[in-house]
Amino acid sequence: MKKQIITNQFTDKELEKKQEELEKLLEKNYRPNQELSEPLKLTQFWEEWEKMYGESGLVNPRGDSLLTELAVWAINRLKPKLLMINYNDPDYVHWGYKSHYTRGISIIDQGIKRLVDTIKLAEEYRDNTVLCIVPDCGRDSNPFLSVPYQHHFNSKSAHEIFALFWGKGINKNKVIERQVSQIDIAPTIAKIMGFNAEYAEGNILEEVFI
């Protein structure tokens, strides 16, 4: 936003509104005495993205397809050691058309395939990467709650999830018939990355490893 204001891309009325928005954002800065900056590589990443898609948000992919595109760009340009993608299109199953929900699942499925293909083509990641695919929560198992099968009531089942692991050092074609707790994911990923998550409350899912 600061860049947009400096380059004067707005009418007088729009500029005034943008300056007000920027002031509100700066007021929320919890590091007021520190200059906010980002690594050069990250700055270049967004400059390339803007050159490709512009700033309107109307040209680039939308929804979860956008997240896949950003992830592929990050893999190829930023080379992260850890990358988390929070797909969310199917989260809105509680209203609207069922086809919107199933379409969202299909888009994620295609996105994961594209990520796997990208990983296989990248020398740094090929045969050296693990994918962990999990939902963000389980479901309340009591059908008599005011909103059945949600995840807002802190029940045990609301914390139980499935987990799919794929990649280096992971058991292939193995299905373990049990649910796991959300809190087991962090220490398991820590083991994959080679460090001890000493403050994690969960347990390492040892059965996923060879």
Which tens digit of pLDDT belongs to each residue from 57-102?
899 999 999 999 999 999 999 999 999 999 998 876 666 677 888 8
Which tens digit of pLDDT belongs to each residue from 160-205?
889 999 999 999 989 998 888 999 999 999 999 999 999 999 999 9
- Is residue 148 domain-shared with residue 208, that is, in the same domain? yes
Which tens digit of pLDDT belongs to each residue from 46-60?
999 999 999 888 999
- Is residue 101 domain-shared with residue 169, that is, in the same domain? no
Paired tokens of 55:
């700033």
Paired tokens of 111:
């996105």
pLDDT at 28: 75
- Asked if 85 and 67 count as a contact pair (C-beta separation under 8 A), the reply is yes
- Asked if 156 and 162 count as a contact pair (C-beta separation under 8 A), the reply is no
CA distance linking residue 117 with residue 126, whole number of Å:
10
- Asked if 107 and 63 count as a contact pair (C-beta separation under 8 A), the reply is yes
CA distance linking residue 82 with residue 84, whole number of Å:
7
Q: Is the pLDDT of residue 36 over 60?
A: no
- Is residue 31 domain-shared with residue 11, that is, in the same domain? yes
Which tens digit of pLDDT belongs to each residue from 91-142?
766 666 778 888 999 999 999 999 999 999 999 999 999 999 998 887 777 7
- Is residue 21 domain-shared with residue 53, that is, in the same domain? no
Which residue would you say has higher pLDDT here, 141 or 15? 15
The structural domain count of the chain equals: 3
Q: Which domain holds residue 103?
A: 38-128
- Asked if 75 and 125 count as a contact pair (C-beta separation under 8 A), the reply is yes
